[in-house]
A = this chain, B = another copy of it.
Amino acid sequence: MHELNFINYLKKTIKYKTDVICGIGDDAAVLKHTKNKHLLFASDMLVEGVHFSRNTKPIDIGWKAIAVNASDIAAMGGVPKYVVISAGLPERRALKVLKRILEGAKKACKKFNIQIVGGDTNKGKNLVIDVSIIGEVEKKCLTLRSGAKQGDFIFVTGELGKGKEKHLNFIPRLKEARTLVRNFKINSMIDISDGLFLDFYRIAEASRVGGVIYKSLIPLGEGAKMKNALSGGEDFELLFTLSIKEAKRLILYMARHKYPPVTLIGEVVLKSRGLNFVGDEGRVSKIRPKGYMHF
């Protein structure tokens, strides 16, 4: 079974009660909380040999474990609040390594105003860190993958294609996300963890729309390869859509404030038109859900 199919399988087989506003299938679950706010709940696991190597500094692993989870909360338009950290570690390195990992995690938590409220340490054959995060979002700021509408403009934050170099000490786009959701009507949003193609595919599937992305508009990082931007993963930039009217306001806002760093890269179209990528000399190809997948 394919990873995307598997998530569909899960989504179909689980029935939610009314206190679950959004369950499996977005960057975080959305749960009933107070009169004005929802709770956000997500989890991301980092595995040695996949998300970091044997030689990665433990302090960087700790930073990344927090940052990827904070990025999920950013993608919902929310504010991260609390994390619990579970670790599986080989005995011979064990607590010394764990202490360094937690230093990195604490550094990130301080930076992003998150509190570490629990943890669980275990023996394990290879190093695994799993962080779960609780965040909050005002009801009016909540942004799902599923809200993209025909005619929306598609934007990304920052630059793409340098995830492999930056993934260990990236800054999740929490501030940018909050600026966006508090000042504009963002119709859909996701963080690009698995490449632009796969993550745009996720928005399109959830929103039942098609889309056009223009290669010439993609903001490539200096020296980055287009291939890495499209399907390399770990850029952790935000991909979002909003109406043309709101897009115009955003562009004016950006001109005035020199912030946030966003770039228009395409347009949402009818589902029946599919997902299209306009490449060199206007050649059009189909966007396939191709990016980093575990299985």
Residues of A within 8 A of B (CB): 1-3, 6, 9-10, 13-14, 16-17, 19-20, 23-24, 28-29, 31, 33-34, 39, 41-51, 81-82, 84-88, 91, 94-96, 98-99, 102, 106, 115-126, 128, 130, 132, 134, 294-295
Contacts and interface: CB of A to CB of B under 8 A. Distances in A.
Given A13-B106, A45-B122, A95-B6, A23 B130 contact: no
B88 A45 contact: yes
A198 B126 CA distance: 27
A118 B24 contact: yes
A28 B132 contact: no
Contact of A118 (B42, B82, B119, B294): B42
A115 B1 CA distance: 23
Given A6-B121, A24-B118, A45-B88, 16 more contacts: A3-B121, A6-B99, A9-B99, A14-B106, A24-B116, A24-B119, A31-B82, A39-B39, A43-B130, A45-B87, A45-B122, A49-B123, A84-B132, A122-B294, A125-B125, A125-B126
A24 B124 contact: no
A125 B124 CA distance: 10
Given A102-B10, A295-B91, A43 B84 contact: yes
A42 B84 contact: yes
Contacts of A47: 88, 122-125, 128
Contact of A43 (B46, B98, B119): B119
A84 B48 CA distance: 21
A71 to B, nearest CB: 13
Contact of A295 (B81, B85, B95): B95
Nearest to A99: B1
A122 B90 CA distance: 18
Contacts of A41: 82, 84, 117-118, 132, 134
Contacts of A46: 122
Nearest to A94: B295
Given A1-B99, A41-B82, A102-B10, A117 B50 contact: no
19 contacts: A1-B96, A10-B116, A16-B115, A17-B115, A19-B115, A23-B116, A29-B84, A31-B81, A42-B84, A43-B86, A43-B119, A45-B86, A50-B123, A50-B124, A84-B132, A91-B295, A94-B295, A120-B130, A122-B294
